[in-house]
């Protein structure tokens, strides 16, 4: 039964009713169902499934979009977390912003990527010695995850696409119950231009300064928890630039949205440490300073997987 207020429910329904429909909805649903079926109907042990969201959503200013407002996120957190979830035996649905960081590709040079390759003669191409190990590992790990049915990648750009896809995923995962997890690392827009009040064509600069009124995007965490996937383990994130208010805001979000934990991070130190805020107390998770290749996600995902195991056990007793 729904525990969110009628007002919030109305705001959420009107957001979806006024959104431009997803272009490839049938294809996404088919891929999702196939992936979930593959990972839940295996003989022997069934896999846990996590939906990792990654990257920032955009808010278009024109229906035939030339300009948009963006939310900061490189996608590094989501990509690194995905790799760790795959290593921990999870099947991962990676819902990512087009063009952001991809799992297994973090150690490849992106600028300029073409410097990885060389032509020994006119007919062949090969990877430059200095990058061959990184490219080999990236290709092998990514291929293994996809071939074993442990990684499904689905891209989004706009806030409209992201929220519709998140709802599709939650609905598709409903029957997986406590063995499913939502790990919401994407940076989601808080304000948007409703589709119906958006101009169709490119805004003209000749008419002087631009006044835009942005409406508030309804927070979907409450409906995700109470209606879409109430049995799933749910981890949300809190990003702040002022460390003084970070923990207080994360604690409020934990109580308000009734998620299982909130990962609190401050923009400038987010690669060094995060704080996992939950009803059992706050845990500071750091990357290992003694190991240059260590990343904060190695320890973070170990902790989250542990908490998920406890949650599954408790759900079955």
Instruction: Please report how close the Cβ of residue 177 comes to ligand PMT at its closest, in angstroms.
Output: 21
Q: Count residues binding ligand PMT (CB under 6 A).
A: 21
Residue from 86, 105, 98 nearest 54 by CA: 98
- Residue 304 binds to ligand PMT (criterion: CB under 6 A): no
> Which residue among 91, 187, 246, 277 contacts ligand PMT (CB under 6 A)?
187
**Of 76 and 227, which CB lies nearer to ligand PMT in the complex structure?**
76
Q: Cβ distance 286 to 299 under 8 Å? A: yes
- In 174-233, which ranges are continuous DSSP H helix? 221-223
Instruction: Please report how close the Cβ of residue 153 comes to ligand PMT at its closest, in angstroms.
Output: 16
Question: How far, CA to CA in Å, does 168 sit from each of 88, 145, 163?
Answer: 25, 23, 9
Cis amide prior to 204 (ω within 30 degrees):
no
- Residue 19 binds to ligand PMT (criterion: CB under 6 A): no
* Residue 44 burial class via C-beta count within 10 angstroms: exposed 0-12, middle 13-18, buried 19 and up: exposed
- Residue 237 binds to ligand PMT (criterion: CB under 6 A): yes
Kindly state the DSSP code that residue 48 receives in the 8-state scheme.
Answer: P
**Of 39 and 228, which CB lies nearer to ligand PMT in the complex structure?**
228
> Which residue among 11, 68, 74, 171 contacts ligand PMT (CB under 6 A)?
74
Span 77-136, contacts to ligand PMT by CB under 6 A = 77
Instruction: Please report how close the Cβ of residue 115 comes to ligand PMT at its closest, in angstroms.
Output: 24
> Which residue among 236, 261, 301, 304 contacts ligand PMT (CB under 6 A)?
236
Q: Is the four-CA dihedral 300, 305, 310, 316 of positive or negative sign?
A: positive
Question: What is the length of the chain?
Answer: 317
Window contacting ligand PMT (CB under 6 A); options: 122-130, 139-147, 216-224, 305-313: 216-224
What's the CA gap between 265 and 274, in Å, rounded? Answer: 5
9 CB-near residues (< 8 Å, 6+ apart) = 2, 223
Q: Is the four-CA dihedral 152, 173, 156, 254 of positive or negative sign?
A: negative
- Residue 170 binds to ligand PMT (criterion: CB under 6 A): no
> Which residue among 179, 184, 285, 301 contacts ligand PMT (CB under 6 A)?
184
> Which residue among 190, 194, 282, 312 contacts ligand PMT (CB under 6 A)?
190
178 CB-near residues (< 8 Å, 6+ apart) = 231, 232, 233, 311, 312, 315, 316
> Which residue among 220, 261, 301, 304 contacts ligand PMT (CB under 6 A)?
220
Instruction: Please report how close the Cβ of residue 249 comes to ligand PMT at its closest, in angstroms.
Output: 7
Q: Cβ distance 116 to 108 under 8 Å? A: yes
- Residue 225 binds to ligand PMT (criterion: CB under 6 A): no
Instruction: Please report how close the Cβ of residue 269 comes to ligand PMT at its closest, in angstroms.
Output: 10
**Of 47 and 167, which CB lies nearer to ligand PMT in the complex structure?**
167
The residues binding ligand PMT (CB under 6 A) are 73-77, 184-188, 190, 217, 219-221, 236-239, 265, 270
């Amino acid at each position: 039964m729904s525990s969110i207020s009628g007002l919030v429910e109305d705001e959420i329904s009107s957001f979806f009713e006024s959104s431009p429909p997803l272009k490839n909805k049938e294809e996404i649903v088919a891929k999702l169902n196939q992936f979930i079926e593959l990972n839940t109907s295996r003989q022997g042990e069934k896999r846990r499934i996590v939906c990792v969201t990654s990257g920032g959503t955009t808010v278009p200013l024109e229906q035939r979009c030339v300009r948009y407002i963006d939310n900061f996120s490189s996608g590094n957190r989501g990509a690194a977390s995905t790799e760790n979830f795959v290593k921990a035996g999870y099947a991962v649905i990676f819902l990512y912003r087009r063009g952001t960081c991809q799992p297994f590709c973090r150690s490849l040079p992106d600028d300029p990527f073409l410097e990885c390759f060389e032509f020994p003669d006119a007919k062949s191409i090969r990877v430059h010695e200095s990058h061959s190990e990184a490219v080999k590992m990236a290709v092998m790990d990514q291929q293994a995850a996809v071939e074993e049915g442990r990684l499904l990648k689905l891209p989004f750009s706009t806030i409209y696409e992201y929220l519709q896809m998140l709802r599709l995923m939650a609905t598709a995962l409903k029957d997986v119950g406590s063995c499913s997890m939502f790990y919401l690392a994407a940076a989601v827009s808080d304000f948007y231009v409703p589709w119906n009040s958006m101009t169709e064509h490119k805004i003209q600069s000749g008419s002087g300064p631009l006044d835009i009124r942005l409406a508030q995007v309804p927070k979907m965490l409450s409906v995700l928890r109470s209606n879409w996937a109430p049995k799933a383990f749910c981890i949300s994130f809190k990003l702040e630039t002022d460390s003084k208010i970070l923990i207080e805001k994360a604690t409020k979000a934990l109580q308000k949205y009734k998620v299982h934990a909130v990962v609190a991070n401050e923009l400038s130190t987010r690669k060094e440490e995060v704080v996992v805020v939950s009803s059992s107390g706050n845990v500071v998770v750091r990357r290992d300073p003694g190991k240059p290749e260590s990343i904060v996600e190695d320890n973070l995902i170990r902790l989250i997987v542990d908490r998920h195991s406890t949650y599954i056990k408790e759900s079955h007793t």
